[in-house]
């Protein structure tokens, strides 16, 4: 994440964690990070010094860094197979092939390749 850019969705996630922040401070940070407005212009528009606006931006970015796991999870869905790990494990232990497991998952609405299932099963075994 660069100092001058942050997506609106990402900004909203971090801002939701800034419960005690004023609307003014969040507006300053949104203008700087989402809109990419120049620091001096944003500071003047919000009747504050550039230094104050920069401090607010720095604190917001620090908050974003502290919440990077939550931010990642909000942007990146987990592996769809994790939801079906118990079923995959049961079928595997009972001798079903990856192709048969793929057909089972397909009936559950999950479209996935045999290769991906095999890789997932290898990773499951490595965790045991």
Number of domains into which the chain is organized? 2
Instruction: Verify that 70 and 100 share a domain, yes or no.
Output: no
Distance, in Å, from the CA atom of 61 to the CA atom of 17, rounded to the nearest integer, reads 12
The Cα-based distances of 45 to 18, 28, 38 in angstroms read 22, 9, 11
Instruction: Say yes or no to pLDDT of 33 above 50.
Output: yes
Residues 20 and 69 in one domain: yes
Task: Give the DSSP letter string of 10-59.
Answer: HHHHHHHT-TT--HHHHHHHIIIIIS---HHHHHHHTTS-HHHHHHHHHH
Which CATH number covers residue 14?
1.10.10
DSSP class of residue 95 equals T
Task: Look at residue 1 and tell me if it is in a domain.
Answer: no
pLDDT at 74: 72
pLDDT band at 38 (very low <50, low <70, confident <90, very high): very high
Supply the pLDDT for residue 7: 86
Of the pLDDT bands very low, low, confident and very high (cuts 50, 70, 90), residue 2 is very low
Residue 2 lies in a domain: no
| Apex 11 CA angle, 79 and 21, nearest 5 | 130
55 shares its domain with 22: yes
Residues 17 and 41 in one domain: yes
End position of a domain, from candidates 75, 101, 117: 75
| Segments forming the whole domain that contains residue 52 | 8-75
- Domain boundary, last residue among 31, 57, 75: 75
């Amino acid at each position: 994440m660069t100092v001058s850019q942050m997506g609106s969705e990402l900004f909203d996630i971090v801002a939701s964690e800034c419960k005690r922040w004023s609307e003014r401070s969040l507006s300053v940070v949104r203008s700087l990070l989402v809109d990419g407005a120049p620091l001096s212009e944003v500071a003047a528009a919000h009747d504050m010094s550039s230094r104050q606006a920069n401090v607010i931006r720095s604190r917001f970015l620090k908050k974003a860094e502290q919440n990077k796991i939550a931010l990642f999870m909000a942007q990146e869905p987990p592996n769809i197979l994790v939801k079906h790990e118990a079923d995959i494990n049961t079928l595997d232990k009972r001798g079903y092939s990856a192709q048969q497991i793929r057909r089972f998952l397909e009936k559950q609405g999950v479209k996935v390749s045999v290769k991906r299932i095999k890789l997932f099963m290898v990773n499951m075994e490595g965790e045991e």
